[in-house]
Amino acid sequence: MMLAAIGNEGEAKLDAFLEEAVAREVLYLRFEEYRRFADAYQCPLDCSGNSSAERRVELADGRAIRFVRLNSALICSRRKDEKGNLLLGARQRVMNEAIGEELVVLTHHPLDWYADSAETKRFLRSRARVFISGHEHLAAVDVQNVEPGRDLMMLAAGATTPDSFDDTYTYAYNIIQFDWDENDDALAVTLYARAWTISHGAVPAVQWQPMTMAFSVTEDQLKGLTAGDRVSFSFRLEGGRATIVSIKK
């Protein structure tokens, strides 16, 4: 009933429930297993309706980044987990600024999944330097100029083990390097995009023509290999997913 009320009345109802201790506790009971998981990785889940922003990394003297985690699953349910129906709520759109500190904001769902996406985007543009989302796993990056000398990197994460793959949905991930540019006295972000692909000949056993395609592979299997290497490999095919069993030069 609580989720139905929020779905019908929107952000105001969500924020009203979050103001009440009992209602807030009921809402967050659904995250108990995730809370234990997050605690094990020293990333405690905020259970008050606010963002989690305790992780700070110093990059240079007096210069740092702070990772801010937003909970986009507050009203997720089988009925409401649809694009445009989710809510972050006003309580999560509170990110204090500090001199010499830049914000990196992470959330599971992309912005267009929220009913309050317009408010969230305005707030991100005024506070954050990097916004990272997942869920759809269509890897992409868009650097938006907010004002002279201030950009916002919008990063959509890929998936290392997607349920399926095609020309646009493939095995991909990113390595992000954060530095402080002393010359410009500004945050410098370097993105290393990664995807597992192999160009192979025909595979008659599964009726494949020669092509370049993605395979699921582990880091250990890739040790000693670099892009462009000629390799021999074996794989298994399960439910449309091709997984490397062995690979070598």
- Position 248 confidence tier, pLDDT thresholds 50, 70, 90: confident
| pLDDT tens for each residue of 100-153 | 999 999 999 999 999 889 999 999 999 999 999 988 877 778 888 998 888 999
Tokens of 183: 């010359």
Helix 2-9 × helix 11-19 angle, to 10°? 140
| pLDDT tens for each residue of 147-170 | 888 899 998 887 766 666 565 566
More confident residue, 184 or 80: 184
The chain-wide mean pLDDT, for the chain, equals 83
pLDDT at position 195 = 61
| All domains of the chain in start order, with CATH | 2-194 (no CATH), 197-248 (2.40.50.320)
The dihedral built from the CA positions of residue 204, 210, 216 and 222, taken in this order, carries a sign that is: positive
More confident residue, 248 or 1: 248
Which pTM value belongs to this model? 0.75
